[in-house]
């Protein structure tokens, strides 16, 4: 894993761990769907079990946004040209439904409401049911490249996740002071808001900008805690840190 931190100033660069960095070519991406949360919540309530977990919902969401090529093929099959026949539940979407069913395992039951009675469905009916839900979700997220008249508007590209990346904060890994005499005293934040460094973090192949870096301090022994090390005062040489 690659874990590189550096500030904008070379003189104050901090490197925690650096390994081989693979080169990734930049590609044009579509923005993450700008959908009101209420509309998404209503879709979940109308299509999934009331007991569906957040994890399952997120798996369904990201399975949809992470397969633009399959969604292009699915939409194309739903909008035939002369000599072709229309597929409402396409083999492409069924393939995604099977992959999702395998991914969710026993949790796939939560994709169906009680009124749908999944227990009485055949395996093919289950796949068809999931396919219909995925088709509805892709349209809700505007990941359907055709309009209502069958005219192609665009070709879907990879969906950017930049807008939903987490806000990262780098801080000490220790929860308590490691000095024996402090009796596991809690660590206080020792970075003022105006002094918080903003750094660039490379983790794996992901680049995160403006990541906050915090340090902690034990108010008993004055040990300073950083993300990668700790520093304490020597009693014999006042003011000097190790």
* Closest to 179 (Cα-Cα) out of 214, 218, 236: 218
Tokens read off for 192:
């003022």
What is the Rg, in whole angstroms, of the alpha carbon atoms belonging to the chain?
26
Residue 77's pLDDT is: 92
pTM beyond cutoff 0.75: yes
pLDDT tens-digit readout, 47-90:
999 999 999 999 999 999 999 999 999 999 998 888 888 888 99
SS3 assignment for the chain: CCEEEEECCHHHCCCCECCCCCCCCCCCCECCCCCCHHHHHHHHHHHCCCCCCHHHHHHHHHHHHCCHHHHHHHHHHHCCCCCCCCCCCCHHHHHHHHHHHHHHHHHHHHHCCHHHCHHHCCHHHHHHHHHHHHHHHHHHCCCCCECCCCCECCCCCCECCHHHCCCCEECCCCCECCCHHHCCCECEECCCHHHCCEEEEEECCEEEEEEEECCEECCCCCCEECCCCEECECCCCCCCEC
The CA distances from residue 140 to 44, 52, 97, 112, 181, in Å, are 11, 19, 17, 18, 59
The CA distances from residue 229 to 16, 216, 223, 232, in Å, are 9, 11, 11, 10
Residue 16's pLDDT is: 42
Residue 214's pLDDT is: 96
Cα separation, 13 vs 5, whole angstroms: 7
* Closest to 166 (Cα-Cα) out of 202, 199, 228, 211: 211
Residue 14's pLDDT is: 41
Residue 231's pLDDT is: 73
Cα separation, 135 vs 147, whole angstroms: 14
Weakly modelled stretches of the chain, pLDDT under 50: 1-26, 234-242
Contact 193, 236 (CB under 8 A): no
């Amino acid at each position: 894993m690659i874990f590189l931190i550096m500030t904008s100033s070379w003189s104050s660069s901090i490197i925690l761990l650096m390994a081989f960095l693979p080169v990734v070519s930049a590609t044009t991406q579509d923005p993450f769907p700008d959908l009101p949360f209420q509309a998404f919540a209503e879709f979940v309530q109308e299509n999934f079990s009331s007991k569906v977990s957040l994890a399952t919902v997120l798996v369904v969401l990201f399975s949809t946004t992470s397969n633009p090529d399959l969604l292009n093929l699915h939409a194309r099959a739903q909008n035939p040209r002369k000599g072709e026949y229309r597929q409402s539940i396409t083999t492409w979407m069924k393939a995604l439904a099977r992959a999702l069913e395998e991914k969710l395992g026993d949790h796939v039951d939560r994709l169906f409401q009680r009124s749908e009675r999944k227990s009485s469905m055949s395996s093919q009916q289950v796949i068809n049911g999931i396919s219909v839900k995925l088709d509805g979700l892709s349209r809700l997220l505007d990941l359907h490249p055709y309009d209502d008249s069958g005219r192609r508007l665009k070709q879907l590209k990879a969906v950017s996740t930049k807008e939903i990346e987490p806000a990262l904060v780098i801080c000490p890994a220790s929860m308590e002071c490691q000095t024996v005499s402090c009796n596991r005293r809690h660590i206080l934040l020792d970075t003022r808001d105006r002094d918080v460094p903003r750094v660039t973090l490379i983790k794996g192949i992901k680049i995160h900008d403006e990541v906050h870096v915090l340090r902690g301090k034990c108010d008993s022994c004055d040990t300073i805690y950083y993300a990668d090390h700790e520093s304490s005062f020597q009693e014999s040489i006042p003011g000097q840190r190790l």
